[in-house]
Structure 1
Amino acid sequence: KTLPVISIIGYTNAGKSTLLNTLTHSRMLVESRLFATLDPASRRLRFPRDIEVIVTDTVGFIRDLPRELMVAFRATLEELEDADLLLHVIDIANPRFEDQIRSVEAIVAELSLAHKPCLKVFNKRDLLDPETVEHLCRRHDAVAISALATADLKPLISRMQAIIATLQEPSRDPGAASPSTEPAADTQAGEAAANTATTTDCG
């Protein structure tokens, strides 16, 4: 069976490659410049509930991309068609982050991908006060992280795991027992996520 694919998208320099590095303990190139990630990189990630996925990084989005670069840009994003979940990484410390959200969402719509499940991830939360971060997360239904801190990824991993599990439910064996929905079990899984998720390179 094909593994679910989680694709990391976002405006350039939002912290996508850094998140992939921390999430999967890999060492991808991380640079603060446009299009530092030119080729998608993929890693396998296993969640605590025995759900295995492939996580991919993509080229950074940019507003008003020159027409001559649009063809090449679109070509690098073709793999997004296979994504089961989009992780939209956003630099919440950027004063224009809401404009960047709109730019990314516009490109996603142009690529006819707006129907795909998308989870907003507010990166660099450590640069803002907690109350502001909490308010923005509620407003945008987002998860706040610092991509450099492994411990910060527990809530994100829990949300990713829950979404993928939900997407897989229609293909479950009707006679199979339903997974536990007790709060204590969910909390335990979320707390253990960052410590028990394992990764391998995709070859």
Structure 2
Amino acid sequence: GGIGTRGPGETTLEINRRRTKTRIAQLEDDLRSLRKRRTLRRTKRSRKEMPTISIVGYTNAGKSTLLNSLTHSSVMVGDKLFATLDPISRRLRFPRDFEVIITDTVGFIRDLPKDLMEAFSATLEELLDADLLLHVIDISNEQFEEQMVAVERTLSKLELHTKPTIKVFNKIDLAPAGFVERKVRKHEGIGISAINPRTLEALILAMQDRVAGFRERAVPQSAQIGERVNC
């Protein structure tokens, strides 16, 4: 038979296991092949001495949508696991007229298979150079607090838990207003709807204030908001 079809005597369970192993191997190859490109980009980026912000969060929390809204870009938004593998970067200009690089990263998940953990961690090497993390949380998800903990545990394992972080509670339009207000206050975060730019003002100002200390080493760039960063 063709690739992925049943071999002699294979059960449905065995077929699914074989397909899963094949998919894991493919993902590992894809993730590892990105290392060289990321290292080169980070080296060039550090020479520009521009502050960097990295977006992290559980899978499908709305990270790519937020990147698009902040930078007026059209990054692919995928409702599936590992829709974003290679971190995508854009330039963002703040009202105070200085720029940062903002980067989207692969979505976190709980109980990641051991076979994928090393490769998954490799995709997050970009976070080592970040000056600020935006932890995006889907507040409309009934398990959002468990997902928050899963992300925080992963950051801790990667020794990134001490990075300056803003908790961004996304999809506030899909949850009761009173509930959103209580949870955002409890976790000291900022509530937004990534699909509604009018809700982003408080977040933009908070980001600007947090990275203002890096302004002295930020070199002015002529690029427009949303321009893809290939370095």
Q: Which category describes the TM-score, using the shorter chain as reference length? A: 0.7 to 0.9
Partner residue of 1:89?
136
Query: What pairs up with 1:26-175 in 2 under 5 angstroms?
Result: 26-165=73-212, 167-168=213-214
SS of 2:200's partner is helix
Percent identity between the two aligned chains: 59
Structure 2 residue identity aligned to 1:199: G
Q: 2:62 aligns with which of 4, 9, 15?
A: 15
CA contact 1:7–1:83 (8 Å) conserved in 2: yes
CA contact 1:6–1:55 (8 Å) conserved in 2: yes
Give the superposition deviation at 1:17: 0.5
Structure 1 residue identity aligned to 2:64: S
- Please say if 1:200 is aligned against 2:217: no
Give the superposition deviation at 1:115: 1.0
SS of 2:166's partner is strand
Q: Distance in 2 between matches of 1:75 and 1:9?
A: 14
Q: Distance in 2 between matches of 1:20 and 1:101?
A: 19
- Rg bigger for which structure? 2
CA contact 2:138–2:170 (8 Å) conserved in 1: yes
Structure 2 residue identity aligned to 1:62: I
Shift >6 Å, 4+ stretches: none
Structural RMSD (CA): 1.5
In structure 1, runs of 5+ residues without a counterpart are 173-196
Q: Distance in 2 between matches of 1:200 and 1:29?
A: 15
Per mean C-alpha deviation after superposition, the further-off stretch among 30-39 and 127-136 is 127-136
Q: Distance in 2 between matches of 1:76 and 1:59?
A: 7
Please give the TM-score of this superposition, normalised by the length of structure 1.
Answer: 0.84
In structure 2, runs of 5+ residues without a counterpart are 1-47, 218-223
Q: Distance in 1 between matches of 2:148 and 2:51?
A: 25
CA contact 2:140–2:171 (8 Å) conserved in 1: yes
Structure 2 residue identity aligned to 1:114: H
Structure 1 residue identity aligned to 2:103: T
Q: Deviations over 1:32-87 (max 9, x none)?
A: 11000011000000101022100000000001100000111011000100000000
CA contact 1:11–1:60 (8 Å) conserved in 2: yes
Q: Distance in 1 between matches of 2:156 and 2:98?
A: 29
Give the superposition deviation at 1:151: 1.0
Partner residue of 2:29?
none
Give the superposition deviation at 1:136: 0.9
Select the structure that is richer in strand: 1
